[in-house]
Amino acid sequence: MIITQLDPELQHLLARAATLAADVDTTLWLVGGVVRDLWLELPIGRDIDLAVEGDINQLIAPLADAWDGTITARHPAFGTATITVGQWVIDLAQTRTEHYPKPATLPEVQPAPLTQDLYRRDFSINAMAVQIIADGDQLLPSPLIDPLGGVADLAARRLRLLHDQSLRDDPTRLLRGVRLAARLQLTPDAATASQIADALEAGYLALLSPERIQTELCLTLEEPNPAAVIALADEWGLTPHVIPGLHWTPALAERLSRYRQDTSEIARLAPNGLVIAGLVLYDLSDDELTSVLHRYHLPAPARNLIQDLVALRPHIATIAAATSPSAIDTLLQPYSIAALAGLHYATETPIQQVVSRYLHEWRPLRPPLNGDDLRHLGVPTGPQIGQLLRQLRAATLDGLITDRTTAEQWVRWHLVDS
């Protein structure tokens, strides 16, 4: 009966979907992580997985129209599609069997009944389903389908792969598995632990494209407790395969805890995932950080973060020795806020205090005059304006200029002096 625990808006969407599915002689099932989390009475995310038993192609467009949603992805060869509806991202997949001709390659698929579809999934706790049936706009209760013992494994806090070629077929299951185990406090059963060790020894993760690994790493950063995932990944021996040089250490644990517990504004100045990435990567050598840049096709903010860490770390002693706000501004201004937040949480108290004051007080500070004001005071258009603005900012940071009047006097004095 767990389907009636869903958000009322989502229940309404699924009831409409059930009616449309019946019209084209297909059956809809709620599957995967949503079913697991509903059973555990945990909050569900915005991603909803639906399995379609029957011809999915007859259902995609009518569903998008009925939901007033947008088809954001469609892969006819695999019988899958994604429809975005308001806050929901709904993934539809035709029930199928899969055959992997080579390790870590995309599968060859064939339509199949739901029971076979559940068996081709990764872990028993993700191989449960609930049929979506409705009476008009009302979702009706439907029993849990659990042919592979997912509920028993949840009760035992057990992570169990469904077949002995699972990690050979799709090595990303190693990375999904460690996230699940950390989030739900699961322990692999003996057979699964053996398969994990064998898959790592066989080097299956190295067969994945960097893009597929990067997607899984980004999902790790979005976990409620990324630190727990990283610690467990290191315990399992995964980290050297995805980020060589990364290890779980007391220092890493301490800085992540410091960030997680911080309620000050500095913790909200940069995206959460970016700051966590900086803290995780902080102890890597310059060569190891450079190898991350070469291995993964990172978005610009992440690339800038790594490049900033390489450039910033050698200057820690200079930052600590700086005696004025303007000197600190000169040292720190070139670097991203995410990199500076990482420096704040990864270093000792004196540096933390300097970086905190810089981010809170000095970096946002603007001098009383801008470029237009300087032109009105007689400064000719050209490089001198930029030079004076920098000097004006430095004087303001150091308290030599406190208001517009003293700023104008300062500019006039410099014009006469020049």
DSSP string, 18-71: HHHHHHTT-EEEEETHHHHHHHTTPPP-SEEEEEEES-GGGTHHHHHHHHT-EE
Question: Please, is 151 exposed, middle or buried when counting C-beta atoms within 10 Å of its C-beta (0-12, 13-18, 19+)?
Answer: middle
Instruction: Give the count of beta carbons closer than 10 Å to the beta carbon of residue 287.
Output: 10
User: Virtual CA dihedral for 377, 381, 385, 387, nearest 10 degrees?
Assistant: -140
Rounded (to 5) percent helix, strand, coil in the chain: 55, 15, 30
pTM of the model: 0.89
The pLDDT tens digits along the chain (418 residues) read 688 889 999 999 999 999 999 999 999 999 999 999 999 999 998 999 999 999 999 999 999 999 999 999 999 988 999 999 999 999 999 999 988 888 888 888 899 999 999 999 999 999 999 999 999 888 998 999 999 999 999 999 999 999 999 999 999 999 999 999 999 999 999 999 999 999 999 999 999 999 999 999 999 999 999 999 999 999 999 999 999 999 999 999 999 999 998 878 787 888 999 999 999 999 999 999 999 999 999 999 999 999 999 999 999 999 989 989 999 999 999 999 999 999 999 988 889 999 999 999 999 999 999 999 889 988 888 888 999 999 999 999 999 999 999 999 998 888 876 5
Tally of CB atoms within 10 A around 137? 10
Residue 153, amino acid: D
The residues near 289 (Cβ < 8 Å, ≥ 6 apart) are: 281, 306, 309, 310
CB 52 within 8 A of CB 70: no
Report which residue type is found at 85: V
d(CA 74, CA 58): 13
Distance CA 52, CA 21 (A): 9
d(CA 68, CA 85): 7
Answer for the pair 351, 343: CB distance below 8 angstroms, yes or no. Answer: yes
Question: Are 327 and 364 a contacting pair, CB within 8 Å?
Answer: no
Could you give the CA distance from residue 170 to residue 184 in angstroms, rounded to a whole number? 22
| CA-based nearest residue to 36, from 17, 49, 18 | 49
